[in-house]
Amino acid sequence: DIVMTQTPLSLSVTPGQPASISCKSSQSLLHSDGRTYLYWYLQKPGQSPQLLIYEVSSRFSGVPDRFSGSGSGTDFTLKISRVEAEDVGVYYCMQGIRLKTFGQGTKVEI
Amino acid sequence: EVQLVESGGGLVQPGGSLRLSCAASGFTFSTCSMNWVRQAPGKGLEWVSSISGNGDYIYYADSVKGRFTIYRDNAKNSLYLQMNSLRADDTAVYYCARDQQVVDLDYWGQGTLVSVSS
């Protein structure tokens, strides 16, 4: 099974400042088709999760450009260039190369 | 607009059964793989099961294998999860979520709560 490890598990941020979350997988997420199946989701308080980033760095429809994803192989990062109040919630990374496995989640608060 | 609406949750005794449903609209249901993902109270997300668009490929998490069955009715644009031999640790909000080609879990429903308790 692929294990996803996120750090930190909680993050206190100041509006307007950047924030960064790390995600490491126990195996490479690079598929033989050339794609890397790493996703980022945000679950805002009281809501269902929503997709932010797919294939490491592609922003999903409607996601603000202050969100960016990077990385390769087993090491990945989600960055928020300037945090806004609406960005609070729990962020999850997920691998989709072998079934699906989520990281533990990173709680972001202002 | 893509919509996924779960139903069927509730309180059930340990060892009991429950069937969850997910009604899909706003997209061509039969072309998308579908998933169930759950979240225990105060905990993180756990993928439960996936089914391909035509139902030929089905996968389960080890934690539910042999107890849960995923299936779909493309004529009714509906996804189901039959849950048997329920345990206290199955207590969670269950979400259905869509896979669109190589983009996994792009849309989620609002979830339905399953509580397993005597």
- CB-CB under 8 Å, A103 with B44: yes
Q: Could you tell me if A54 lies within 8 Å of chain B, comparing CB atoms? A: yes
Q: Which residue of A has its CA nearest to B50?
A: A99
- CB-nearest to B110 from A48, A96, A102 is A48
Q: 3-state class of B69 per DSSP?
A: strand
Alpha-carbon span B12 to B99, nearest angstrom: 30
Q: Would you mind telling me the total number of residues written for chain B in this entry?
A: 118
| DSSP letters spanning A8-48 | -SEEE--TTS-EEEEEEESS--B-TTS-B-EEEEEE-TTS-
pLDDT in tens, A39-88: 999 999 999 999 999 999 999 999 999 999 999 999 999 999 999 999 99
Residue B101 has pLDDT above 90, yes or no: no
pLDDT in tens, B29-87: 999 999 999 999 999 999 999 999 999 999 999 999 999 999 999 999 999 999 999 99
pLDDT of residue B102: 80
The token duo for A37 is 């199946």
Contact A73, A90 (CB under 8 A): no
A80–chain B nearest CA distance, Å: 20
Residue pairs spanning A and B at CB distance below 8 A: 58
Query: How many Cβ atoms sit within 10 Å of the Cβ of residue B79?
Result: 28
Alpha-carbon span B74 to B28, nearest angstrom: 9
Q: Which residue of A has its CA nearest to B36?
A: A100
Alpha-carbon span B33 to A25, nearest angstrom: 24
Measured in Å, how far apart are chain B's first and last C-alpha atoms? 40
Proportion of chain A in helix, strand, coil states, percent, rounded to 5: 5, 50, 50
